[in-house]
Amino acid sequence: SAVISQKPSRDICQRGTSLTIQCQVDSQVTMMFWYRQQPGQSLTLIATANQGSEATYESGFVIDKFPISRPNLTFSTLTVSNMSPEDSSIYLCSVKKTMESGYTFGSGTRLTVV
């Protein structure tokens, strides 16, 4: 399975500011996914990031709030913009190498907005 380096691992941010989360994969992958996991909850898909095209956002998530970049097949960023305390969560990137391997997750970014 792929190895994903995600950073930062955690951050405490002031409301109204933005944070960019980076994910680097050790091999080329077509699809990268960004999830949010709020305390005690399961994973909610924010968007799917494909190289060379705009990200596809799930219902309830918009590009202005969560802009995504995917400049190549091994890297992606997610920005959480104009943060509020409601954005406090764990953010996870994920990739799929093959269906048999399922999804591999980065180590997560624990974001606290104060």
Three-class secondary structure assignment of 43-104: EEEEEEEECCCCCEECCCCCCCCCCEEEEECCEEEEEECCCCHHHCEEEEEEEECCHHHCEE
Residue span binding other proteins (CB under 8 A) among the ranges 21-29, 70-78, 79-87, 92-100:
92-100
Shortest gap between Cβ of 16 and other proteins (angstroms)?
A: 27
d(CA 111, CA 39): 11
Shortest gap between Cβ of 56 and other proteins (angstroms)?
A: 10
Beta bridge partners of 10: 110
Shortest gap between Cβ of 108 and other proteins (angstroms)?
A: 5
17 contributes a contact to other proteins by CB under 8 A: no
Using CB under 8 A, pick the residue from 33, 66, 68, 78 that binds other proteins. 33
43 contributes a contact to other proteins by CB under 8 A: yes
107 contributes a contact to other proteins by CB under 8 A: yes
